[in-house]
Amino acid sequence: NWSYRFQTILSVLRDFDFFTHTHVKAQIYSSMSNLAADFVKAACTYGKIIISEGSLPTHEKTIRPVEIGGIAGGEKYIVQNILFKFAVDVNQIMDGEYGAIKVAGNEIKALTAYFNCGLSELNLPLMALVDYMGFRIIAI
């Protein structure tokens, strides 16, 4: 589970202090780096498939959309415990695809702003944006 691994590593990072040994810090930072790299690789791999098959009928798609509610996030997919939100304006509420892409970009900006507040009580997910063939997908 991506989120569990992220929260576990993050909690260890938050407990670092002046006396934490350098080799412990290096090991935990390496774990975080590896997790992030694995997440981005999975997000890019599956995101590109979802985008490439975006114009196909649902029954022909390798990865099929799921109904999990909400109308503003575009089509949603779940693969390898990653939620993908395809930034398309399927409900025509964002003034077209450009608006949907801008909203997706603002989601990661908002997540970054919350993360930078340093609130240990607030658990935030890993997130990545995948831009491919003129489309954008959010991986959470």
**Beta strand spans in 2-134 (E):** 75-79, 82-86, 128-132
Q: What is the pTM of this model?
A: 0.87
Of 128 and 122, the structure prediction assigns the larger pLDDT to 128
pLDDT greater than 70 at residue 90: no
Q: Would you state the pLDDT for residue 37?
A: 97
pLDDT greater than 70 at residue 95: no
Helix (H) or strand (E) segment spanning residue 9: helix 2-14
Q: What per-residue string of b and e applies to 23-41 under the rule 16 or more CB within 10 Å gives b?
A: eeeeebeeebeebeeebbe
